[in-house]
Structure 1
Amino acid sequence: MKTQPEKLPQLLKKGLAPVYLISGDEPLLVQECCDQIRKTARDQGFLDRLTFHADHQMDWNAVGDELSAMSLFAERRRIEIHLPTGKLGDGRALMERVLQDPPEDVVLLLISARLDAAETRRKWYKELQNKGVHVPVWPIDANKFQGWLQQRATSRGLSLTRGALAILAERLEGNLLAASQELDRLSLLNQGQTIDEEAVEQAVQDSSRFNGFELVTELLAGRAPHAGKMIGVLQQEGENPLGLLAVLTRDLNLILELKSVASQGENPSAFLKKRGVFQPQRARVIEQAARRLNRPQLHAALALCSDIDRAAKGFDSLTPWQYLRDLSVQLAVRS
């Protein structure tokens, strides 16, 4: 069966399925769904855990051995398989056999990127729908993000003024992981107090000297030397590049859209306001980048973003920070 993330808790209360598939490109929401399944499984005695990553070195025979082996001392296990490409590849035949008759002492958790239509027509997926649960995770629509942020804040006991919520929504749109972390930090800094615009701005000023949002601004402005220094600091501090990558990709696509509507005579400022860009500094940087960069540069930058994503997930010999340095040079060149 297929269900939505918000319905998963209620479904888990009714009992565990032998197999779950959590798929999507929103790391925070995927992780939270997986954590709910893990907790329920632990509570029901599935304490042992094995994890596999379906990369080019994956040994599917080892996975098959684990799925067919009886647990020692009748211990029940959780077996997790990460599918970063959203495809089973060489493991498809094995999974078809396993899903026809899932082992009783195992909860199988498949954690996948978004599935394409072709994969959902394969036999293994149809077997999974019959025997297990698929939870597809979709991005939060831009027009629903502020509501999602408000709901998230309320669940943490935070009270936000309308202005504070608007600032956070503009700053964090498209990056759910950063949004969750920001709300956690605000809850620590403003215990029991209503959070207004000043509190949000102060929290931003109190954050690390170089953060991912500032780096995105420097990259789009074409200030490669300063961006290079910031990349070095963020790398040393152990920053996760996937957080800033979501913001950067969003803004590069927005710049491409702006170039299209501007060529048709639409006012850039009016367009950006319609797209939820109200902060003057961000709007100025995006407008300037749209004038300075041509389409081939922007498409090349988006291709580098894909390289960064792949490297951050361990599927490249280079580090994501090396690709980010290449990107800073790419965006500094004038068309």
Structure 2
Amino acid sequence: MELKPEQLAARVEDGPLKPAYLIAGAETLRVLEAADAVRTAARAQGIGEREVFEIEGKQSDADWDALEASFAAPGLFASRRLLEVRLPSGKPIKSGSELLQRFCGQPPPDVVLLVTCNEWSKRHAGKWSEAIARVGEVAVAWPIKPHELSEWVERRLRKHRLVADRDAVQLLVDRVEGNLLAAAQEIEKLALLAGDGAPPLDAARMETLVADAARFDVFRLTDAALNGEPAQVSRMLAGLRAEGNAVPALMGMLVMELQRAAALARVQGRGGNLGAEFKAQRIWDAKQSVYRRALQRHPPARWEAFIGVAGRVDRMVKGREAGDPWLGLERLLLAIADPKAVRLLATAAT
């Protein structure tokens, strides 16, 4: 039976761990928290040894050979081990699928297997995930629908011993605009500001406590572009301009994000270890899925071209090149968000 990540997290608290777990989906926060619940339960049950296998990009048999060797090897410091397989694509190659099926066919008594995936759909499921379901648990973090977000926020508030009326919950939902990570951060802040066991929050009190997570800031602007949300880009950019922001104030963060994306694209283009590059760039797990989606939309050469276009916008600001910097910036961001908009950039790679 397919579980929600929150259901899986509750189950692992109540009994001994099963031989295998699969946690998948694009809702990064829910995947991370369910995986953390498995790790916490493992520590509580005396599983002191943990190995992590990053299997991404262009997979090879060697990636899976290392995992197979670990299945067979005895633990160094503990009688039981937690082996984590991070498989962002959700699609193991044939040898990987066969290895996971063999493991589930006769799980080693000293190993608990945890597989996490960033991408998931009905097409990703196969014999390997069915094998995990037979001996363990499968949880999928399907995107939360707009009408489900209020319930998710209410559960999160209760977890932090906070109560809010319907209007207050809706205010918070409106502020975070469907961003679960932003909602989680705001609720953690509320717990600190309101205090443990605070009286129920109404809309007025919520208004005073919660920062406006839906504000038009440059961080959310660049995230919208990388996430492929052109309509959101145009709306945010108009808001920033109306608030009196200047183009130079926006360019530093954008150029940094473009340089990161270009570096990641180069590594991915040559079949390198994208996980290692994420660590080198100090990109948090919660942000990695944003970059992965962006890298799927554009080839490596185009990210280099985007950096060049950002340079042209900077020269427009300084009067060294003709053109409207706001228009140039908007076209660049729209091109990042939607490959169809690349034609707006005269010198962008196609």
- TM-score class, shorter-chain normalisation, is 0.5 to 0.7
Q: Which runs of 5+ in 1 are unaligned?
A: 247-303
SS at match of 2:23: strand
1:110 maps to 115
Q: Within 2, Cα distance between the matches of 1:112 and 1:324?
A: 34
Report the residue type matching 1:188 in the other structure: L
Q: Within 1, Cα distance between the matches of 2:233 and 2:208?
A: 19
Q: Which among 229, 248, 256 is matched to residue 249 of structure 2?
A: 229
Q: Within 2, Cα distance between the matches of 1:16 and 1:324?
A: 52
> Contact 2:86–2:115 at 8 Å: present in 1 too?
yes
1:43 maps to 44
Q: Within 1, Cα distance between the matches of 2:309 and 2:82?
A: 37
Q: CA deviation at 1:149?
A: 1.0
1:331 maps to 334
1:306 maps to 293
Q: Within 1, Cα distance between the matches of 2:30 and 2:248?
A: 31
1:14 maps to 15
Q: Report the number of matched residues.
A: 272
Q: CA deviation at 1:222?
A: 4.6
Return 131-140 or 216-225, whichever deviates more. 216-225
TM-score between both structures, scaled by the size of structure 1: 0.66
Aligned pairs for 1:23-62 within 5 A: 23-55=24-56, 56=58, 59-62=63-66
Q: CA deviation at 1:213?
A: 4.3
Report the residue type matching 2:21 in the other structure: Y
Task: Name the Cα RMSD after superposition.
Answer: 4.2
1:175 maps to 179
Q: Within 2, Cα distance between the matches of 1:23 and 1:65?
A: 24
Report the residue type matching 2:98 in the other structure: A
Q: Within 2, Cα distance between the matches of 1:72 and 1:78?
A: 12
1:2 maps to 2
Q: Within 1, Cα distance between the matches of 2:308 and 2:85?
A: 28
Q: CA deviation at 1:143?
A: 0.9
Q: CA deviation at 1:219?
A: 4.3
Identical pairs, percent: 29
1:141 maps to 145
SS at match of 2:115: strand
Q: Which runs of 5+ in 2 are unaligned?
A: 225-231, 258-281, 311-328, 336-340, 345-350
Q: Within 2, Cα distance between the matches of 1:323 and 1:36?
A: 44
Return 325-334 or 34-43, whichever deviates more. 325-334
Q: CA deviation at 1:63?
A: 1.2
1:261 maps to none
Q: Within 1, Cα distance between the matches of 2:296 and 2:59?
A: 19
Return 201-210 or 18-27, whichever deviates more. 201-210
> Contact 1:227–1:328 at 8 Å: present in 2 too?
no
Q: Deviations over 1:207-232 (max 9, x none)?
A: 99946446656643555995673363
Report the residue type matching 1:196 in the other structure: A
1:96 is the counterpart of 2:101: yes
TM-score between both structures, scaled by the size of structure 2: 0.63
Q: Within 2, Cα distance between the matches of 1:137 and 1:185?
A: 24
Q: Deviations over 1:140-159 (max 9, x none)?
A: 22112112212211221223
CA pair 309-50 structure 1, distance change in 2 beyond 3 A: farther
> Contact 1:245–1:309 at 8 Å: present in 2 too?
no
Report the residue type matching 1:106 in the other structure: V
1:196 maps to 203
Q: CA deviation at 1:233?
A: 4.4
CA pair 57-230 structure 1, distance change in 2 beyond 3 A: farther
Q: Within 2, Cα distance between the matches of 1:199 and 1:35?
A: 29
Q: CA deviation at 1:77?
A: 1.1
CA pair 218-330 structure 1, distance change in 2 beyond 3 A: closer
CA pair 157-111 structure 1, distance change in 2 beyond 3 A: same
2:134 maps to 130
Q: Within 1, Cα distance between the matches of 2:102 and 2:213?
A: 54
Q: CA deviation at 1:324?
A: 12
Q: Deviations over 1:260-317 (max 9, x none)?
A: xxxxxxxxxxxxxxxxxxxxxxxxxxxxxxxxxxxxxxxxxxxx99315889xxx979
> Contact 2:175–2:212 at 8 Å: present in 1 too?
no
Report the residue type matching 1:11 in the other structure: R
SS at match of 2:82: strand
1:78 is the counterpart of 2:68: no
Return 151-160 or 18-27, whichever deviates more. 151-160
Q: CA deviation at 1:117?
A: 3.0
SS at match of 1:230: helix
Aligned pairs for 1:137-286 within 5 A: 137-191=141-195, 192=198, 194=201, 196-197=203-204, 199-200=206-207, 203-204=210-211, 210=217, 212-213=219-220, 219-220=234-235, 222=237, 226=246, 229-230=249-250, 232-233=252-253
Q: Within 1, Cα distance between the matches of 2:309 and 2:176?
A: 20
Q: Within 2, Cα distance between the matches of 1:245 and 1:226?
A: 29
